[in-house]
Structure 1
Amino acid sequence: MTEQEPRWLDDGEMRAWRNYVVGASMLADRLHRELQDGHGVSLADYEVLVRLSEQPARRMRMSQLADEVASSKSRVSHQVARMEREGLLRRRECPEDGRGVFAELTDEGMALLETSAPTHVEGVREHMVDLLSREEQAVVAQVFERIINHLRDVDG
């Protein structure tokens, strides 16, 4: 049995891949630093606050939250436990089935979100959105929707 040669990336593909990897990492690091320095909240915690704030009653199942922030259930469980100790969230049993658990945004968590959101939005604008034309924004959105859908299909 012979092994098939990998489909190596050509120069254009390599440039796209490497610029994505470095750019995405640098952008996340910058946005994290701005939130941390200005408000003492990490980018990961900010994303959890945002997702919960957008839900009815400011809560969602832990499994759904993990999917929404593209994290493992275990990692989100530890994150929510820490954020609960900080008073930003609370966990509630799901009354429908008794097995599920909700993460629920507290008033303190909502207040932190409201004070940190302007910093985050300014950073997103300055470091990404305002650097792109409307057409480029649409392309970025379409490309990453395709990638997200593909990866969700692969992960089943």
Structure 2
Amino acid sequence: MPRKLPDRDELHIWREFIEATEALRTRVTGRLHDDTGLGAGDYTVLLTLSEAPDTRLRSSELATRVGWERSRLSHHLGRMERRGLITRTGAPGDNRGALIVMTPDGGAAFHAATIPHLRVVRELFVDALTPEQLTAAGEIAAALRDRLRDR
């Protein structure tokens, strides 16, 4: 039995969702870069490293946590390494693995970016929604993430 396609109203909601999330992402990442000099990818990597023990992770674990393909991560880490935000060292006990470590400059850049970034999140996302809408947005995001994870 063929799957039912979205109807006109469902497609309208889908378009609204896609257009709004893309506009939000563009504005937030643009402000992050303008205010701090960090791109969204930089901030994502630094945030993930900041949450890791000793601000270091194996590259494979970092790729999993940020949800990127390893080749994309490798190229991005090269750019971050040239800017002094991270270093790559050999992983203990594994000649093939790399350990990604946040440098002091990377930590300083991350900490300097956090407050401006959170202000933009508050301004463009949190303050645009009622408390009920914010709760619903969280539930919707969790449901979508769970559905995609199950597939």
Give the aligned residue type for 2:100.
Answer: A
The more displaced of 75-84 and 38-47 is 38-47
Shift of 1:134: 2.7
Corresponding residue number in structure 1 for 2:95: 98
**Residue among 82, 85, 88 paired with 2:82:** 85
Corresponding residue number in structure 2 for 1:23: 20
Shift of 1:6: 6.0
Moved over 4 A (4+): none
Higher relative contact order (CA 8 A, sep 6+): 2
RMSD: 1.7
Q: Give unmatched runs, 5+ long, in structure 1.
A: none
> Is 2:50 aligned against 1:60?
no
**Residue among 118, 136, 139 paired with 1:121:** 118
The more displaced of 140-149 and 25-34 is 140-149
Distance 2:57 2:133 in 1: 33
Aligned partner of residue 26 in structure 1, secondary structure: helix
Q: What is the TM-score with the length of structure 2 in the denominator?
A: 0.90
User: What are the Cα deviations for residues 110-145 of structure 1, in whole angstroms up to 9, with x where unaligned?
Assistant: 111111111110111111112223332222222222
Shift of 1:83: 0.2
> Is 2:138 aligned against 1:141?
yes
The more displaced of 129-138 and 102-111 is 129-138
Q: What is the TM-score with the length of structure 1 in the denominator?
A: 0.87
Distance 1:89 1:76 in 2: 12
Give the aligned residue type for 1:64.
Answer: E
User: What are the Cα deviations for residues 25-66 of structure 1, in whole angstroms up to 9, with x where unaligned?
Assistant: 111111111111122111121111111111110011222222
Corresponding residue number in structure 1 for 2:45: 48
Distance 1:57 1:125 in 2: 29
Does the C-alpha gap of structure 1 residues 64 and 16 become closer, same or farther in structure 2, counting only changes over 3 Å? farther
Distance 1:27 1:136 in 2: 16
> Is 2:17 aligned against 1:11?
no
Give the aligned residue type for 1:125.
Answer: R
Distance 1:153 1:101 in 2: 29
The more displaced of 132-141 and 11-20 is 132-141
Distance 1:14 1:70 in 2: 27
Corresponding residue number in structure 1 for 2:149: 152
